[in-house]
Amino acid sequence: MKPAWDQLSEEFADSSSVVVADVDCTVETELCSDYDVSGYPTIKYFTPETDEKGDSYNGGRDFDALKAHVVDNLEVKCQADSGEGCTDKEKGYIEKMKAKGAFALLSAAADTMPTSPCSPHSFHLPLVSLQVPMTSRSSSTGWTA
- Tens-digit pLDDT profile for residues 64-109: 999 999 998 888 777 777 777 787 888 888 888 777 776 565 666 6
**pLDDT value at position 102?**
61
CB atoms near residue 25 (< 10 Å): 21
Q: CA-CA distance, 92 to 36, in Å (whole number)?
A: 45
pLDDT for position 76: 77
- The pTM of this model reads 0.58
% of residues, the chain, pLDDT over 90: 30
Q: Please report the beta strands in 8-131, taking only residues with DSSP state E, as ranges in sequence order.
A: 20-24, 42-45, 55-56, 127-131
Domains of the chain: 1-76+122-145 (3.40.30), 78-118 (no CATH)
